[in-house]
Structure formats: C-alpha cells, structure tokens
C-alpha cells in the first residue's frame, strides 16, 4: 500500500486537516492547561458568581464563581484522559480477541460472532448507566462502564481483517516453512488490521467522548469538583434561562472535539479504502 499516496489523499481533504489541527490545539490545551488558563480551576469566588462573559471572564463564571474558560480548558484534559483510557483498553482487548478468534475459529469464534451480532446494537448507554448506577459514579466506574461493550467494535474489525488475511497464500507459505502461529499473527495479520483499526479509533474517540459527557450530564460521571464538560452542563442546566453561557460553552466544546475526530476519521477512511478513491 503506497503510504505517500494515502497521506496525500488525506491532506487533500480539507475537513480532515481542519480536524487534525483542532485536535492538536485541544491536546496542547489539555497538556499545558496550567500555563494557559487565566485562573485556577478550583478557586471559588462566591462574590463573582454567575457573571456573564466579559473581558475578565471570557466565558463567564459559574455558580461558585469559578471562571468557565479555565474549567473548560481543564475539562479538555479530563475528557481526553478518560477517552484515551477507554479507547486504549477497548482497542487492545478488542483487537486481541478479534485476531485470536478469527485466526483459530472454532467455538470461541462462534460465541464472539453471536455476541457481536446482538450486543453491538443494544443501547450501550443503558448498560453503562446500570453499571454506574450499581457501582456508583466516578471516573473509574465511568471508564469501566463505557468499555464494557466498546471492545466489541474492535473485535469485529480485527476479526474481519484476520479472516481475509489468513486465507492468503503467503500465510500458508509461512506455515509451510514452519512459522509459529504467534509469529504469523504478529508479522502478517496484525499489520493488516492496523489501517481499519486506526480509522475506527478516530471515529470511536468521538462517540466515547459523547458517552462520557452524557454520563457526566446525568450526574453519573466525573464528580465535582473535577471539571468535565458533561458535568458542567449538568451544573448549568438549572440556570439555563438566566445564565445561558454556562450551557453554551461546555456543550460547544464537546461538539467541536467530536466533530474534529469525525472529520479526521472520515478523511482517513476515504484515504485508505481503495473503493472510495475517486478518479478526478
């Protein structure tokens, strides 16, 4: 697969480049939050509570007088940390299961296929809610809850790639000269899984961010005072009429982050999938 051509395809897609830039900006904001925030995230200043956007507080202040812009910036950190954790777990576990299942087939593969068939479409937020409801809110439980079904996506994609490669002649050839199964998996199958998995990771990051924010909005996610966009929306909803800025900005950030990942994911998918390459 000519790498340079794919990269060129990707760059030509303006939306993807915009998405990439947005994510880079957000990542930098998350990493350097301490340096770029105008205020500290925890400083409570009740005298200045619920103030509209001004030159001192670009996004206004919340019900405890905290600067919303600062909390939004730190919220980037929380959101990214959580999502990366979820995706790291689910992708690793999912790809492992998918490759093993696709390679060895048999009863494990049958069970996995059935699981995938049905569980994937089941509203995962309901499961996540119940898990958090049973075990209690908080960061760890949120990650656990969201990861519970998420790995199936990766398993499915990894399995599909594995199935298509294991039939190829060079795999049979490798077996014939005595390569072990794990060598074949590592050297031939895994690299072939990577392109669609990378696309899935980008797109999945978007939906994981949405799920985490949704849990936060319902009060089941990160707990105060941890700044998280969904939780901030939850705090702000009772002030919707009088202090709309509390609801506008955190939600806007969620949308921008998810949008960026979707742009990137779309661009990657178009660049990699040969069927989509349009002859201009």
Q: Which is nearer to other proteins, 65 or 219 (CB)?
A: 219
Candidates 278, 256, 269; CA nearest to 18 is 256
Which DSSP string do the residues of 172-205 spell out, in sequence order? HHHHHTT--HHHHIIIIIHHHHHHHHHHHHHHHH
Q: Kindly tell me which of 33 and 131 has the beta carbon lying closer to other proteins.
A: 131
> In the complex, what is the shortest distance from the CB of residue 58 to other proteins, in angstroms, rounded to a whole number?
19
d(CA 9, CA 16): 10
Question: In angstroms, rounded to a whole number, what is the distance separating the alpha carbons of residues 186 and 162?
Answer: 11
- CA 98 to CA 196: how far, in whole Å? 13
Under the rule (CB under 8 A), what is the footprint of other proteins? 15, 114, 117-127, 129-135, 206, 210, 213-214, 217-220, 230, 233, 237, 240-241, 244, 247-248, 251-252, 254-255, 258-259, 262-263, 266, 279-280
Residue 74 preceded by cis peptide, ω within 30: no
Look up tokens 């998280």; give the residue.
228
Q: What's the min distance (Å) between Cβ of 148 and other proteins?
A: 9
Q: Which is nearer to other proteins, 83 or 185 (CB)?
A: 83
CB of 50 or CB of 255, closer to other proteins: 255
Question: Nearest approach, Cβ of 195 to other proteins (angstroms)?
Answer: 19
Q: Report the nearest approach of other proteins to the CB of residue 146 (Å).
A: 12
Closest distance of CB 124 from other proteins, Å: 7
CA distances from 179 to 103, 174, 244 (A): 14, 6, 64
* Minimum distance of other proteins from residue 277's CB (angstroms): 9
Smaller CB separation from other proteins, 25 or 45: 25
d(CA 123, CA 254) in angstroms, rounded, equals 21
Other Cβ atoms less than 10 A from the Cβ of 178: the count is 7
Choose between 56 and 273: whose C-beta lies nearer to other proteins: 273
Query: Whole-angstrom Cα distance, residue 251 to residue 245?
Result: 10
């Amino acid at each position: 697969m000519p790498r340079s051509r794919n990269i060129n395809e990707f760059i030509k897609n303006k939306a993807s480049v915009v998405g990439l830039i947005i994510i880079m900006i957000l990542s930098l904001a998350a990493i350097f939050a301490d340096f770029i925030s105008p205020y500290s995230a925890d400083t409570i200043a009740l005298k200045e509570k619920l103030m509209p956007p001004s030159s001192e507080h670009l996004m206004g202040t919340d019900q405890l007088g905290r600067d919303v812009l600062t909390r939004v910036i730190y919220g980037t950190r929380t959101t990214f940390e959580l999502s990366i954790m979820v995706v790291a777990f689910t992708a690793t576990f999912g790809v492992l299961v998918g490759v093993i299942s696709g390679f060895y087939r048999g009863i494990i593969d049958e069970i996995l296929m059935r699981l995938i068939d049905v569980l994937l479409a089941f509203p995962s937020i309901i499961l996540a809610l119940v898990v958090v409801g049973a075990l209690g809110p908080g960061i760890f439980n949120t990650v656990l809850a969201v990861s519970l079904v998420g790995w199936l996506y990766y398993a499915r994609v990894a399995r599909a790639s594995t199935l298509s490669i294991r039939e190829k002649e060079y795999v049979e050839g490798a077996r014939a000269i005595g390569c072990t199964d794990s060598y074949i998996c590592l050297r031939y199958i895994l690299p072939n899984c990577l392109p669609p998995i990378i696309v899935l990771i980008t797109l999945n990051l978007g939906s994981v961010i949405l799920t985490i924010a949704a849990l936060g909005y319902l009060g089941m996610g990160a707990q105060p005072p941890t700044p998280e966009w969904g939780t901030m929306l939850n705090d702000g909803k009772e002030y919707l009429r009088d202090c709309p800025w509390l609801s506008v900005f955190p939600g806007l950030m969620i949308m921008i982050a998810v949008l960026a990942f979707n742009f990137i994911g779309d661009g990657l998918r178009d660049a990699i999938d040969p069927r989509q390459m349009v002859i201009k």
